[in-house]
Amino acid sequence: MSDDEILNRLYRKHTSWVLMAERMMPLYYSMTAEDVVQEVYLKIYQELGSKKLKSTTIIIDGQPNYAIVYLRIRNIIADMMRSEKSSTPLTTDIEDKEVESAAEFYEKIDGVIENFQWFHKKLFKLYSKEFRSIRKLSNATKISYKTVFKTVKECKEEIRKQIKNEN
């Protein structure tokens, strides 16, 4: 079965996928359910092209596999919510003293990070400054998820330990 035929079979259930996405999405979400479903089609098409996903897992006995589509919709919504959450500026009434103490705190953290081994330092800086997702960092760097997870976890524990010792 070709990739186009698979997408045509998925598209036959398009209204079901849109309803599924609408039920999962929060009210304030900037993207429409239709956009999410289109992203799912693109993701499935890319995965079929790169052979990460087999046609037999998407279409079973001539019917679309709801579990696969559900997981793709859920993951796309979760990724979008995470990325929007981190980019939303917070408005608070912070005094200058608090800003200075926060700046000192971040300087302490940067000092701890500078003492890491070069691999830990590079990976943690990428995680904390750019990616904010272990899965995305793992995919971008082609380093296994377990290695990235373990390294980030060790870095966080070391930062906590060093900050606790300084206080």
Same domain, residue pair 80 and 106: no
> Tell me: the pLDDT tens digits for 16-70?
888 888 888 776 666 788 888 999 999 988 888 888 888 888 888 888 888 888 9
Same domain, residue pair 24 and 71: yes
Q: Averaged over 153-163, what is the pLDDT? A: 88
Query: Tokens standing for 60?
Result: 């079973």
Spatial neighbors of 157 by CB under 8 A, at least 6 apart, are none
Same domain, residue pair 82 and 123: no
Domains: count for the chain: 2
Q: What is the pLDDT of residue 86?
A: 52
Query: Tokens standing for 128?
Result: 């904390």
Provide DSSP, 23-60: HHS-TT-SS-HHHHHHHHHHHHHHHHHTTSS-HHHHEE
Same domain, residue pair 129 and 53: no
Same domain, residue pair 45 and 78: yes
Residue with tokens 């606790």: 164
Q: How far is CA 41 from CA 34, 75, 78, 116, 142, in A?
A: 11, 13, 17, 42, 24
**End of a domain among 31, 56, 87?**
87
pLDDT > 70? residue 167: no
Same domain, residue pair 121 and 55: no
> Tell me: the pLDDT tens digits for 90-144?
555 556 555 557 777 778 888 888 888 999 988 988 888 777 788 888 888 899 9
Domain that residue 123 falls in: 96-166
Q: What is the pLDDT of residue 146?
A: 94
Same domain, residue pair 158 and 130: yes
**End of a domain among 36, 61, 87?**
87
| pLDDT tier for residue 147 given thresholds of 50, 70 and 90 | very high
CATH of the domain at 131: 1.10.10
CA count, 13 A, side-chain hemisphere, 29: 21
